[in-house]
């Protein structure tokens, strides 16, 4: 979905550069706020997906707070995004527990053992609610790398291993089992949660149903989601939280890259100043091929012998043989020096980048599609690389 980025001039920013479309971001936030108000639920931003502080004030105007994955995200949520901070981390240590308590309103534990280990500090914390992560043992995620309910998962306590008495120290439950899913997957998950966790509902007052739901996708059935959440609240009497990540920044980010060179090895190969492994690692981990304006993504297993004059495989500047973004058929064959715009590379992309091979980090810019205003928010240089490892 190219959306507004078809109107964006990539020559207006450095290369490589992440560009955040503030107009689309705000549209997403307005929709999420509406869902929260209509369904009577609280919606948080999952910082693990999109922790861009430059959008903190905007996000804080529409959402109830943030969901953090540890001390640093909790502090960022408190200082730059506003609202409540809900923190969950699979591992807690004596070194970070006090900081997490200081910056959090809700702290969700991964096991009953964590409560036992830190009970004194947790009970002494003022104004902090505690929850327990429950594994409903219901898998919707096809890729094992992203499935929190896969066998032998380290995330949460199996629902049937917890009793209502175990929940005496806790105010709520946390369930997260989706990854970029549609409504039907959420509906099945919620049914499983109601079946497998019903024995626990009377012992708590809230439940966090996690994220991974593509609420802001164009064809998402918002009304069905609202009705489902309303009915769940009425049946259980629980306060409900959602913590979307992808849905907040969906279709609101792009990555601008420059074509540095074109080589031939059976077919055309374009070398970019942006790297899959450094700047968009989910392209390799998921894997997937990002949409590119002016081109059509081709199957990842396409052979060079199947390529034509408009086909080009694009890769990064690192020494990793697999640093490949994808293979594309272009409307017009690109030339060295051209700027290319890859779509939907904000969520789970900006937060994961690295400087492997000494590859510079992309700059960060915002673009307001309504006013066509561009602001270069952040650039990175040698010091960012050198100081990262001391």
Q: Considering only CA atoms, which of 25, 86, 88 is closest in space to residue 61?
A: 25
Which residue reads 């012998």 in tokens? 305
Short-list 342, 283, 282, CA closest to 16:
342
Query: What is d(CA 141, CA 251) in angstroms, rounded to the nearest whole number?
Result: 21
DSSP E strand boundaries for 6-111: 17-21, 42-46, 65-68, 84-88, 106-109
3-state secondary structure at position 231: helix
130: which strand partners? 107
Structure tokens belonging to residue 126: 């003022």
Q: Distance between CA 275 and CA 323 in Å, rounded?
A: 6
Residue listed under structure tokens 């990175």: 380
**The dihedral sign for the CA sequence 299, 304, 308, 309:** positive
Is 114 in contact with 132 (CB distance < 8 Å)? no
21 is in an annotated binding site: no
Known binding positions? 282
Known binding positions for substrate? 282
């Amino acid at each position: 979905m190219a959306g507004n980025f078809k109107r964006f001039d990539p020559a207006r920013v450095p290369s490589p550069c992440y560009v955040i479309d503030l107009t689309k971001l705000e549209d997403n936030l307005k929709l999420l706020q509406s869902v929260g108000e209509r369904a009577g639920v609280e919606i948080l931003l999952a910082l693990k997906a999109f922790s861009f502080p430059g959008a903190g004030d905007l996000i804080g105007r529409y959402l109830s707070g943030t969901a953090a994955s540890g001390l640093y995200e909790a502090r960022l949520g408190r200082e730059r995004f506003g609202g409540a901070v809900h923190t969950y981390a699979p591992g807690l240590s004596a070194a970070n527990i006090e900081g997490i308590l200081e910056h959090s309103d809700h702290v969700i534990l991964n096991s009953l053992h964590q409560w036992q280990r830190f009970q004194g500090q947790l009970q002494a914390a003022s104004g902090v609610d505690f929850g327990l992560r429950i594994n409903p043992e219901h898998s919707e995620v096809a890729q094992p790398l992203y499935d929190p309910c896969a066998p032998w998962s380290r995330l949460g306590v199996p629902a049937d291993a917890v009793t209502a008495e175990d929940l005496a120290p806790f105010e709520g439950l946390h369930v997260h089992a989706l990854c970029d899913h549609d409504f039907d997957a959420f509906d099945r998950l919620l049914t499983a949660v109601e079946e497998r966790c019903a024995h626990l509902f009377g012992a708590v007052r809230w439940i966090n149903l996690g994220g991974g739901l593509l609420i802001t996708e164009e064809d998402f059935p918002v009304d069905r989601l609202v009705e489902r959440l309303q009915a769940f609240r009425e049946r259980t009497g629980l306060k409900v939280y959602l913590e979307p990540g992808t849905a907040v920044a969906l279709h609101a980010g792009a990555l601008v890259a420059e074509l540095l060179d074109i080589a031939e090895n059976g077919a055309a190969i374009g070398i970019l100043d942006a790297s899959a492994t450094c700047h968009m690692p989910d392209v390799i981990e998921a894997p997937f091929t990002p949409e590119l304006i002016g081109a059509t993504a081709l199957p990842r297993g396409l052979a060079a012998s199947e390529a034509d004059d408009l086909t080009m495989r694009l890769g990064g500047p690192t020494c990793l043989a697999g640093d490949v973004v994808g293979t594309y058929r272009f409307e017009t064959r690109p030339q060295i020096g051209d700027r290319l715009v890859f779509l939907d590379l904000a969520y789970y992309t900006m937060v994961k980048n690295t400087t492997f091979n000494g590859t510079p980090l992309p700059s960060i810019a915002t673009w307001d599609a309504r006013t066509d205003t561009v602001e270069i928010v952040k650039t990175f240089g040698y010091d960012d690389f050198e100081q990262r490892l001391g």
